[in-house]
Structure 1
Amino acid sequence: MELFDNLLMGLSTALQLNNLLFCLIGVVIGTAIGVLPGIGPIPTVALLLPFTFGLSPASAMIMLAGIFYGAQYGGSTTAILVNVPGETSSVVTCIDGHEMAKQGRAGTALAIAAIASFFAGTMATIVIAVLSVPLSVLALKFTAVEYFSLLVLGLIAAVVLAHGSVAKSLAMVLLGLLLGLVGIDVSSGVARMTFGIPALSDGLDFVPIAMGLFGLGEIIANLERPAERRVVSQSIRSLIPSRADLRTAFPAVVRGTALGSVLGVLPGGGAALPPFSSYALEKKLARDPSRFGKGAIEGVAGPEAANNAGAQTSFIPLLTLGIPANALMALMIGALMMQGIQPGPQIMTEQPKLVWGVIASMWVGNLMLLVINLPLIGLWVSMLKIPYRLLFPAIVLFCCIGTYGIANSLFNVWLMMGCALIGYFFIKIGVEPAPLLLGLVLGPQLEENFRRAMLIADGDFTVFLSRPISAVILAVVAALLLAMLSPAILRTRKEALAE
């Protein structure tokens, strides 16, 4: 009964007129940036963070969440019709989706992608609702000791699952932790790494760093990537798939939903892991694997279900434990902090309307996406004609206005510009900045919980091993670190990420 009461409370929040409006805005923006190659949900959420400052916490989170899962829908439209993945998670949809379009089955591919995404979104919402209560009860048993160990696990898992070299990812995490220490130490009142600059006394602002690294840095890199865009010449026929298509696709949708729901929770998993894993699974289970790459409907249904399920279940660690599962969830934590809400295990008991409102809005948003996406396919494809060189100045202008408006600080604008150049440099040398952002967000919490744990234990470091939950978490951390020292595992990881 408690679950239904919570869902009713969430629906009462999500169905408020202003929240419905922001949910609609979120999913429409998400679809649009999913369609436009090279922008993606992470830069978009980073760019929009300053504009959520004046919204209520529920409206802000509902809109930002809508952008995230809305991008999964938009990315599939261009992947199928244009063979250009608008979003990382839609790369695998190009393989069979575009082949189906070339065979005159574009309508079927688009409909299956939309149905699979809606089914996965609905099931993922149920998974979040079911798991949230027991996880929040478990989280309330956490003290500073367990929370410190959990944060360490989150950071190490982000390193293991990040693209590129482990050493580079670890360096990014450490750099993020170091940047998180800038400012006046709360306990001693001593300035740390401020270099005599008064603007650094309160620490480095999260928003300009995120906007620079992920927003402007990615956009600068995209200016030098001209994309060849060829829309399928055939007109889109019926959007209603046949019974045979539904029969073939449904098992793949169920498997993709289950796989995506599990992989979405993993810290650092990113958007690409669920759809690629689902495609590999479908190909392995198929009676005739040679059909894949030639227009197999399971190659669209499974990955599309997996990416939507993964996008939504990545909210579970954030809403129950206050731990970001990926870079975008770290941005969500930044949005909560801007609203004066401290994320952590207590968030479900202190902000139940916010948490359950976001959960309920996911189903509402998925229903909106199903209704608005298929009729507006022509509009989304026509957006591809907008030259990137025209979008870029407008994005830079909005970034500068938003960054300055947070604290009326010109220093933040220069910080964002500096981070944009650093973000572009990271892209050029093949370093993924997501672990840096996780380190920056989790660094202050890591330090705070470490200090509290030391106060509880009177400075005894063995407290992390003497408490059962903490000991189990640290054992998992040790196992991950040992596994990464194995040449065979490193080689397998490199091959899997390259593929």
Structure 2
Amino acid sequence: MNTDLLIQVFQNLLSVQAIIALFIGVVGGIIVGSLPGLSATMAVALLVPVTFGMDPAAGLMMLAAIYTSAVYGGSISAILIHTPGTPAAAATSLDGYMMTKKGQGGKAIGVSTISSMIGGTISGVALLFLAPPLAKVSLAFSAPEYFLLGVFGLTIIGSLAGKSMAKGLASGALGLLIGTIGVDILTGFPRFTFGSMSLESGISLVPALIGLFSLSQVLMLAENKGKEKKESVIGKIGKVLPSIKEFKSIFVTILRSSGLGVFVGLLPGAGGDVGSWVGYNEAKRFSKDKKKFGTGAIEGVAAPEAANNAVTGGALIPLLTLGIPGSSTTAVMLGGLMIHGLVPGNGMFTTNANITYSVIFGFLLANILMGIVGLLGAKFFIKASGISEKLLMPIIISLCVVGSFSINNNLFDVWVMIAFGLVGYLMRKTGFHPAPVILGMILGPIAENGFRQSILMAEGNLLTYYLTRPICLVLLGLIIISLLSPLFLKWRQKRQENNNFSVEEQESV
């Protein structure tokens, strides 16, 4: 990184807009994450339209800050009320809630905050040093590689975002179909527009994002309202900071889990929930006293929290370099990049280097700020986790409508948002995940364009043409692996969860 670029990056970071964006992202992310039922993906989708009028660097910094902070915020409700605010905090609830029952909830939150900050910061450093060389690989990509890259991205998210590989792939296929709506990218002929001028430019990405992730989540909250009662433990949390001796005892665990989290983040589609269980499992495996896990072990909080926040930076590496999301949240962030006219690849680190490095350094600052704000505002965020859903739902719906309308000042986009909200609700009810739909809408046109161009380039020998290109062979291998590996990962994760819950039940008895 040369001196001129470094000066531009620091100017971006020190701008008033960037500072405010980071603070809003961190505080908002923690609050959203601590509210059971809401998620980092929903928060990012809701605020993508807000970034449209912002400087691209500041806007993307805010999305990255929301992402990492919401993953941490999920641990607050997991520790206090045994209800993970996000899926990534499920492993944390095992020992975190047991610490709360012992009157050590504050210490559990303190350990979670420190571990998340360290894990996220380590992943930010990995992002800074690993992403630029990986981005250079994209220079060798042509039409055939872009087609296979699009298929690779779809198989990864499709297989890991839902409860079953078949449902995930079906969601991705739906996104591909929706991506064909509009004017044909090569012939200029309208497809599936049914005579509507509003559909000739295709389905707007932002209203679809908001509908699938935000409005559908509100509908789920409205349906589940009152079905589950949460046990309040506010006022029983004790001190927040762990002692120096306790911190030393978990420091190695935090470092090991952070490394594992970065690695899991590099595996597109895995996400923080997989990373947290891997971190928890390895901490238990390396522990001298395995029986204490599930009974309120401090390592049982540190390990999954360091791992799931380390996943966030790791997941941004394939996103920025190859355009392959590492999680459902980064799938939404891919849409945010596209809205700002940023195409993942080498151009992110050359032409748009000042924006990219600003986002990376902003991500590092966001994790440090998250730790400071989390420790200082622990008692506030604990109270925020008890905000009534009656107040939340109308606010979120209002933001959905305003955000959808504000992009193009077009009422049609609001109807698109509502339609996708209903589709997203039905998908969630039937076990389908909305993330592959968005990914299909984004990658579909790219894959289609690459495939049709490669047909012309192959001159009638398409199969031979693909099999004689080394990068194509690598991508074909990765596609096969991505279709088979989820079966193994899900089996291992389910087995680990069953073992952990069995230990917890035995200890409770």
1:338 aligns with 339
226-235 vs 357-366, greater mean Cα deviation = 226-235
2:90 aligns with 91
Return the alpha-carbon distance in structure 2 between the equivalents of residues 493 and 446 of structure 1.
32
1:133 aligns with 132
Return the alpha-carbon distance in structure 1 between the equivalents of residues 381 and 354 of structure 2.
34
- TM-score normalised over the length of structure 1: 0.93
- Amino acid paired to 1:209: A
CA shift, 1:269, in A, is: 1.4
Following superposition of structure 1 onto structure 2, how do residues 26-175 of structure 1 map, counting pairs within 5 Å?
26-175=25-174
- Amino acid paired to 1:303: P
Contact (CA 8 Å) 1:180, 1:439: kept in 2 or not? yes
Contact (CA 8 Å) 1:274, 1:306: kept in 2 or not? yes
Residues 158-184 of structure 1 show CA distances to partners (whole Å, capped at 9, x for unaligned) of 233233222211111111111111101
Return the alpha-carbon distance in structure 2 between the equivalents of residues 98 and 392 of structure 1.
27
CA shift, 1:96, in A, is: 0.5
1:362 aligns with 363
SS at match of 1:124: helix
SS at match of 1:80: helix
Structure 1's 100 and 7: CA in aligned 2 closer, same or farther, altered over 3 A? Answer: farther
1:467 aligns with 469
Return the alpha-carbon distance in structure 2 between the equivalents of residues 110 and 392 of structure 1.
27
- Amino acid paired to 2:491: T
Contact (CA 8 Å) 1:256, 1:278: kept in 2 or not? yes
Return the alpha-carbon distance in structure 2 between the equivalents of residues 443 and 458 of structure 1.
23
RMSD: 2.3
**Match status 1:417 vs 2:418:** yes
- Amino acid paired to 2:293: F
Structure 1's 202 and 275: CA in aligned 2 closer, same or farther, altered over 3 A? Answer: same
Structure 1's 99 and 352: CA in aligned 2 closer, same or farther, altered over 3 A? Answer: same
Residues 121-163 of structure 1 show CA distances to partners (whole Å, capped at 9, x for unaligned) of 2211110111122112222222222232222222212233233
Residues 352-377 of structure 1 show CA distances to partners (whole Å, capped at 9, x for unaligned) of 01110000011111121111112212
220-229 vs 201-210, greater mean Cα deviation = 220-229
Return the alpha-carbon distance in structure 2 between the equivalents of residues 401 and 479 of structure 1.
42
2:229 aligns with 228
Return the alpha-carbon distance in structure 1 between the equivalents of residues 340 and 193 of structure 2.
25
- Amino acid paired to 1:343: P
**Match status 1:432 vs 2:433:** yes
Return the alpha-carbon distance in structure 1 between the equivalents of residues 370 and 304 of structure 2.
18
398-407 vs 238-247, greater mean Cα deviation = 238-247
Structure 1's 120 and 6: CA in aligned 2 closer, same or farther, altered over 3 A? Answer: farther
**Match status 1:401 vs 2:402:** yes
Q: Percent identity?
A: 38
Return the alpha-carbon distance in structure 2 between the equivalents of residues 91 and 260 of structure 1.
15
Following superposition of structure 1 onto structure 2, how do residues 444-459 of structure 1 map, counting pairs within 5 Å?
444-459=445-460
Return the alpha-carbon distance in structure 1 between the equivalents of residues 104 and 360 of structure 2.
34
Return the alpha-carbon distance in structure 1 between the equivalents of residues 317 and 142 of structure 2.
20
Return the alpha-carbon distance in structure 2 between the equivalents of residues 42 and 448 of structure 1.
28
Structure 1's 314 and 9: CA in aligned 2 closer, same or farther, altered over 3 A? Answer: farther
CA shift, 1:481, in A, is: 4.0
Structure 1's 340 and 5: CA in aligned 2 closer, same or farther, altered over 3 A? Answer: closer
Structure 1's 35 and 435: CA in aligned 2 closer, same or farther, altered over 3 A? Answer: same
2:316 aligns with 315
SS at match of 1:295: coil
Following superposition of structure 1 onto structure 2, how do residues 178-327 of structure 1 map, counting pairs within 5 Å?
178-225=177-224, 226=226, 227-232=228-233, 235-327=236-328
SS at match of 2:53: coil
Residues 470-499 of structure 1 show CA distances to partners (whole Å, capped at 9, x for unaligned) of 112112323444668xxx859836845985
SS at match of 1:223: helix
Structure 1's 243 and 394: CA in aligned 2 closer, same or farther, altered over 3 A? Answer: closer
Return the alpha-carbon distance in structure 2 between the equivalents of residues 385 and 490 of structure 1.
34
Return the alpha-carbon distance in structure 2 between the equivalents of residues 124 and 4 of structure 1.
24
Return the alpha-carbon distance in structure 2 between the equivalents of residues 133 and 490 of structure 1.
29
CA shift, 1:340, in A, is: 2.7
- Amino acid paired to 1:255: R
Residues 374-430 of structure 1 show CA distances to partners (whole Å, capped at 9, x for unaligned) of 221222122234321222112112211211121122221111111111111111111
Return the alpha-carbon distance in structure 2 between the equivalents of residues 315 and 363 of structure 1.
12
SS at match of 2:272: coil
2:353 aligns with 352
Contact (CA 8 Å) 2:149, 2:475: kept in 1 or not? yes
Structure 1's 45 and 497: CA in aligned 2 closer, same or farther, altered over 3 A? Answer: farther
Structure 1's 494 and 81: CA in aligned 2 closer, same or farther, altered over 3 A? Answer: closer
CA shift, 1:243, in A, is: 3.1
CA shift, 1:16, in A, is: 2.5
SS at match of 1:350: coil
Residues 450-486 of structure 1 show CA distances to partners (whole Å, capped at 9, x for unaligned) of 23333433353122211111112112323444668xx
Residues 42-91 of structure 1 show CA distances to partners (whole Å, capped at 9, x for unaligned) of 11111122221111111110011111001122222222223222222112
Contact (CA 8 Å) 1:7, 1:360: kept in 2 or not? no
- Amino acid paired to 1:465: L
Return the alpha-carbon distance in structure 2 between the equivalents of residues 100 and 374 of structure 1.
18
2:14 aligns with 15
- TM-score normalised over the length of structure 2: 0.91
SS at match of 1:224: helix
Identify unmatched segments of 5+ residues in structure 2: 499-509
Contact (CA 8 Å) 2:183, 2:190: kept in 1 or not? yes
CA shift, 1:440, in A, is: 1.4
Contact (CA 8 Å) 1:248, 1:297: kept in 2 or not? no
Return the alpha-carbon distance in structure 1 between the equivalents of residues 481 and 379 of structure 2.
50
CA shift, 1:346, in A, is: 2.3
